[in-house]
Amino acid sequence: MKVFHDIVSYSAWRTSLPSSASVGFVPTMGALHAGHARLLEVSREQNTHTVLSIFVNPTQFGPNEDLSKYPRTLESDLKIAEAEGVAAVFVPTESMLYPDGYSTFVTEEKLSLPLCGVFRPGHFRGVATIVLKLFNIIEADHAYFGLKDAQQFFVIQKMARDLNVRIKLTGVETVREASGLALSSRNTYLSKEERTLTAPQFYQILISAKNEFQNGGVIAAVLESARGRLAQAGFQVQYLELRSTPELTDLTAMNILPKEMGAVLAGALFLGKVRLIDNIIW
Ligand code: AMP
């Protein structure tokens, strides 16, 4: 497994691959867990070479967010990458990607506005910018994203289509603990009790709301009751919404969800100081 800390040496390796190679790319911020490992596994199944990037991207963090405290665990990340058969790891420095005087950003102007877009202004601008930059550097054929960050996946898909990016994008199903809690690098901030007793109720409540929608429940009423149960369980709810896929239009006004309609039930909430997001897509 090769580890590259600069663009020039990565590009030399990329150029040395035979033209028959197919490169699968998994962008991450590190602190790898079994969710990231699953993306690497799917990439390995579908490509001759898998490239992993590890970069805590400053432009997607707001001023009061956890950029400086974000977990950094390069040594164990490299062990996981090695075990998953990764061919190359790209670990750039901040000044390499955002040198002094940097001034160009990518803004998706529709799907990035609701949900997390309301509470994290500028977040998806940072995400779209770093993903497009990495696409240009890595020169992959195929890229893999987790559906745990469903809005992020839809925004990237839209950005890629709008900007004629010729990379096939795949969304990979969320990997969960046995309790149902979605794996996240931020789970390490939770106390044992929060992690085992409270946090798993997020997914349980999402599942029961989904069942209620599918049994003809009135959308606004189901959402209201689910928000109430989340608050009761000890979460501070930021949002819980039912939206169409992949356009993310608000479905609340529909009254009842049509049977054949693709939808995502997405939420963000705080457990103490830790912000958790999760969703179900069907
Ligand atoms: P991150 O490093 O947390 O920004 O995530 C890097 C990639 O891993 C993103 O595409 C995430 O959606 C994906 N990911 C994170 N957690 C999970 C999970 N529990 N299951 C599947 N994919 C995940």
Give the mutation target among 40, 149, 279 for probing the ligand 1 site: most ligand atoms within 8 A of CB: 149
Q: Provide the pLDDT for residue 205.
A: 98
Output the pLDDT for position 97: 98
CA–centroid distance, residue 207 to ligand 1 (Å): 20
Q: Is the CB of 198 under 6 A from ligand 1?
A: no
Question: How far apart, in whole angstroms, are the C-alpha atoms of residue 281 and residue 187?
Answer: 22
pLDDT in tens, 248-261: 999 999 999 999 89
Residue 71 has what pLDDT? Answer: 93
Flag residues of the chain having pLDDT under 70: none
- pLDDT tens track for 52-64: 999 999 999 999 9
Alpha-carbon 117 to chain mean position? 14
Which pLDDT belongs to residue 66?
A: 86
| Ligand 1 pocket, residue 145 CB under 6 Å | yes
The Cα 160–Cα 13 span in angstroms is: 25
Question: In terms of DSSP H, where are the helices of 50-199?
Answer: 74-83, 94-97, 116-119, 123-138, 150-162, 192-193
Give me the pLDDT at residue 182, please.
98
CA distances from 49 to 19, 138, 142 (A): 12, 12, 10
Active site residue 36: yes
What confidence score (pLDDT) does residue 239 get?
Answer: 98
Atom of ligand 1 nearest to the CA of 39: 22
Question: Which residues lie below 8 Å from residue 16, measured CB to CB, with a gap of 6+?
Answer: none
Q: Which domains does the chain have, with CATH numbers?
A: 2-172 (3.40.50.620), 185-281 (3.30.1300.10)
Query: What is the rounded CA–CA span in Å between residue 39 and residue 48?
Result: 15
81 lines ligand 1 (CB under 6 A): no
